[in-house]
């Protein structure tokens, strides 16, 4: 007993020493079970991340319901690399979280769907209704508040009559069925799924904001982690870029991979046609519009979630992505 | 007393300022400095929309707890009276109430959401449930402890049936009721914040959730201060009432 304990201890010590000598041996990845995180889903399902990071590095992937929860894990130092929406990313940076945006992951892909028996045909009809977003303060919540303001409406928390209710996207269908919620602004594939179950599309990915040219998911890194492990960040981004490319060049296989991951994470088996429709409304890409990102910062303030904005020149760092994809030809 | 209070608060503020602004022991997103919390207060209480949300939250929470509290008092007195009237009821329902009281109020929230939906009724259900139990138990105990001589005297003077309750028994149990009402307040207030946190109805609980979601620890701290201050102030006021009542009934000597 004693000997095995001593052995285990010495093994642990030597492993820790090895870890300290070689930098991190674990990459902790955060992402959500949404189609807008397709690159993460495909990369995990096909083992692309693990392949690029190498056999000596452990990939520890955790899924979150929304960016706000991921931000919390980030603040607690539990996540090294994350797929997250611009809202929480900007908010976190403004509060001084050590994060940097290193790549885009998807654009557009958020839609407004109403319950079929609710009399909602336009955004204006949301007056007096209950609208679900993934969580308060997340990207869709900020978009919704902007959409309401544009239509002369206000949230109940600001003295208006639209109730904004945080509901996990996978639970919206159930909330529709029990009439607890009248409409939802959700990321794909949940929008397409609600539509398939009889929900009415009130605003598509383009009407939601900027004609569809807005980032929905970004890749962020913990700056302390990145400074210590630039090679791991580059390796990760190589895998990220490869996954993005795979989604765009090999739709059927990518869709199957996404479907399998979503089923694993949410227990929801999504019909191939639904997924196809959802993917058509989402642009999977490593690029994003910087102006749109800055505008998100302004919307964050407009929504009352931020008082200050981060320094965008420091927040966005595309050097890792550039050197990672240049190294592609090695 | 006031001097000691002010010195105490200043000391806390000083230590807080020292570890955040001067020594920077933790990053601001873990423990924000006092001025960040002050900013949340001024923005949340007096800011132009979308500021002023804290004021809205306070008003919403107070309205909700007021409704819940009044209903809880009324139901509590009713249930307490019923319990006092029957030993069988006391030993069954009375025991259950004591058991239910030991369940943290937040544990009822999932049930309330399923029964009432993600709305204010779910919150009120939990608040009323938590508030009525201490009142019911206090009233029940008070009615049983009314000196038999008073009841005999009341009967002799012609009070029977309902009149015996309204003229003799209930007035006699007022001191116990005052204690129950104060306990009910702190139970109701705690239940309210917990329920608001989980159902996300506009209120102080939701303000906490928003602060958490937007990595805004300053808002979380500001909200906690409001929750603590309001809870404490109401408790203080009810304690005054209780002391006065007990003194008037000769149960306590004047301080």
pLDDT digits 0-9 by tens, B75-106: 999 999 899 888 899 989 999 999 998 999 88
Chain A nearest C-alpha distance from B69 (Å): 23
Terminal Cα-to-Cα distance of chain B (whole angstroms): 15
Tokens of B15: 């230590």
Alpha carbon of B117: minimum distance to chain A alpha carbons (Å): 6
CATH 3.40.190.10 placement within chain A: 25-108+213-307+314-319, 110-212
pLDDT tier for residue A8 given thresholds of 50, 70 and 90: low
Q: With an 8 Å Cβ cutoff, is A97 touching chain B?
A: yes
User: How far apart (Å, rounded) are the C-alpha atoms in residues B10 and B25?
Assistant: 20
Q: How confident is the model at residue A1 (pLDDT cuts 50, 70, 90)?
A: very low
Chain A residues close to B119, C-beta within 8 Å = 180
Hey, are the CB atoms on B214 and A137 less than 8 Å from each other? Answer: yes
> Cβ of A4 under 8 Å from any chain B Cβ?
no
Asked if B43 reaches chain A (Cβ–Cβ under 8 Å), the answer is: yes
Å between B200 CA and nearest CA of chain A: 7
Q: Which residue has the tokens 């679900």?
A: A132
Residue from the list A138, A166, A303 with its beta carbon closest to the beta carbon of B200? A166
CB contact under 8 A, A91 and B27: no
Report the residue of chain A nearest B31, measured CA to CA: A95
Q: Whole-angstrom Cα distance, residue A279 to residue A111?
A: 12
| Arch. (CATH architecture) of B56-248 | Orthogonal Bundle (1.10)
State the pLDDT at residue A206. 87
Task: Provide the pLDDT for residue A10.
Answer: 52
Grade residue A82 by pLDDT with cuts at 50, 70 and 90: very high
Q: Tell me which residue in B49, B117, B213 faces A137 most closely, judged by beta carbons.
A: B213
Please give the CATH topology (third level) of the domain spanning A25-108+213-307+314-319.
D-Maltodextrin-Binding Protein; domain 2 (3.40.190)
pLDDT tens track for B165-224: 888 888 888 888 899 999 999 999 999 999 998 887 789 998 998 888 888 899 999 999
Interchain contact A158–B (C-beta under 8 A): yes
H/E element, A204: none
Taking the C-alpha atoms of residue B200 and residue B208, their distance in angstroms, rounded to an integer, is: 10
Check residues A17 and B141 and name the one with the higher pLDDT: B141
- Write the ipTM: 0.77
Secondary structure (DSSP) of B119-187: SHHHHHHHHHHHHHHHHHHHHHHHHHTS-HHHHHHHHHTT--HHHHIIIIIHHHTHHHHHHHHHHHHHH
Query: Which neighbouring-strand residues pair with A61?
Result: A29
pLDDT band at B66 (very low <50, low <70, confident <90, very high): very high
Give the pLDDT band (50/70/90) at residue A23.
Answer: low
What's the whole-number mean pLDDT along residues B228-232?
A: 94
Chain B residues within an 8 Å CB radius of A303 = 50
- Res. B136 pLDDT band, cuts 50 70 90: very high
Question: Rounded mean pLDDT of A26-39?
Answer: 93
Q: Which residue in A119, A146, A117 sits closest to A133, CA to CA?
A: A146
Q: How far is CA B117 from the centre of its chain?
A: 23
What architecture is domain A110-212? 3-Layer(aba) Sandwich (3.40)
A11 pLDDT above the threshold of 60: no
pLDDT tops 50 at residue B113: yes
Using a CB–CB cutoff of 8 Å, tell me whether B27 touches chain A. Answer: yes
Mean pLDDT over each residue of chain B, to the nearest integer: 89
User: In this predicted structure, what is the pLDDT of residue A304?
Assistant: 86
Distance from CA of B118 to the nearest CA of A (A): 7
Cβ of residue B48 closer than 8 Å to a chain A Cβ: no
Q: Does B210 contact A at CB distance below 8 Å? A: yes
Model confidence, pTM:
0.82
Q: How confident is the model at residue A256 (pLDDT cuts 50, 70, 90)?
A: very high
Distance CA B184, CA B190 (A): 10
* Shortest alpha-carbon distance between residue B175 and chain A (Å): 40
Q: Give A328's pLDDT tier (boundaries 50, 70, 90).
A: low
Structure tokens at A156: 């109940």
pLDDT at B2 over 80: yes
pLDDT higher for A263 or A157? A263
For an interface test with B, give the residue of A131, A152, A157, A224 to mutate (most B CBs within 10 A).
A157
Which residue in B110, B118, B214 has the most chain A C-beta atoms within 10 A of its own C-beta, making it the best mutation to test that interface?
B214
């Amino acid at each position: 007993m004693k000997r095995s304990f001593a052995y285990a201890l010495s093994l642990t010590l030597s492993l820790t020493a090895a870890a300290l000598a070689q930098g991190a041996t674990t990459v902790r990845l955060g992402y959500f079970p949404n189609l807008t995180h397709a690159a993460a889903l495909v990369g995990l399902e096909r083992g692309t991340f693990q392949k690029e990071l190498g056999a000596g590095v452990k990939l520890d992937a955790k899924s979150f319901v929304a960016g706000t929860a991921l931000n919390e894990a980030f603040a607690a130092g539990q996540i090294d690399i994350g797929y997250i929406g611009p809202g929480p990313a900007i908010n976190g940076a403004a509060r001084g979280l050590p994060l940097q945006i290193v790549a885009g992951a998807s654009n557009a892909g958020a839609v407004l769907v109403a319950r079929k028996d609710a009399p909602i045909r336009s955004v204006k009809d949301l007056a007096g209704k209950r609208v679900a977003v993934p969580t308060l303060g997340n990207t869709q919540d900020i978009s919704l508040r902007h959409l309401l303001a544009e239509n002369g409406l206000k949230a109940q928390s600001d003295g208006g009559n639209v109730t904004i209710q945080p509901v996990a996207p996978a639970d919206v269908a159930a909330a529709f069925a029990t009439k607890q919620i009248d409409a939802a602004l959700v990321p794909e594939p949940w929008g397409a799924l609600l539509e398939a179950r009889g929900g009415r599309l009130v605003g598509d990915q383009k009407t939601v904001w900027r004609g569809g040219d807005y980032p929905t998911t970004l890749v962020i890194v913990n700056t302390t982690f990145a400074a210590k492990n630039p090679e791991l960040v580059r390796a990760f981004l190589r895998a990220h870029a490869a996954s993005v490319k795979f989604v765009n060049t090999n739709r059927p296989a990518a869709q199957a991979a996404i479907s399998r991951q979503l089923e694993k994470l949410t227990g929801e088996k999504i019909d191939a046609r639904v997924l196809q429709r959802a993917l058509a409304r989402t642009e999977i890409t490593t690029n994003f519009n910087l102006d749109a990102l800055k505008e998100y910062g302004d919307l964050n303030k407009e929504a009352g979630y931020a008082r200050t904005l981060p320094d965008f020149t420091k927040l966005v760092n595309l050097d890792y992505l550039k050197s990672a994809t240049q190294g592609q030809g090695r | 007393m006031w001097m000691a209070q002010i010195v105490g608060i200043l000391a806390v503020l000083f230590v807080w300022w020292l570890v955040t602004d001067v020594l920077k022991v933790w990053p601001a997103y873990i423990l924000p400095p006092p001025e960040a919390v002050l900013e949340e207060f001024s923005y949340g209480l007096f800011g132009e929309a979308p500021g002023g949300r804290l004021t809205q939250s306070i008003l919403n929470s107070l309205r909700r707890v007021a409704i819940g509290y009044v209903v809880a008092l009324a139901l509590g007195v009713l249930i307490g009276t019923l319990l006092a009237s029957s030993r069988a009821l006391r030993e069954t329902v009375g025991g259950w109430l004591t058991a239910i009281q030991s369940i943290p109020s937040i544990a009822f929230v999932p049930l309330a959401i399923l029964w009432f939906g993600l709305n204010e009724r779910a919150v009120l259900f939990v608040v009323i449930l938590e508030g009525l139990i201490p009142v019911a138990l206090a009233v029940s105990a008070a009615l049983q402890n009314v000196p038999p001589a008073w009841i005999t005297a009341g009967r002799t003077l012609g009070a029977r049936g309902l009149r015996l309750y309204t003229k003799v028994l209930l007035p006699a149990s007022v001191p116990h009721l005052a204690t129950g009402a104060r306990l009910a307040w702190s139970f109701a207030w705690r239940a309210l914040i917990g329920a608001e946190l989980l159902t996300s109805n506009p209120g102080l609980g939701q303000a906490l959730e928003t602060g958490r979601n937007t990595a805004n620890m300053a808002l979380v701290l500001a909200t906690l201060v409001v929750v603590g201050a309001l809870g404490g102030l109401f408790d203080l006021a009810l304690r005054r009432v209780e002391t006065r009542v007990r003194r008037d009934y000769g149960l306590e000597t004047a301080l």
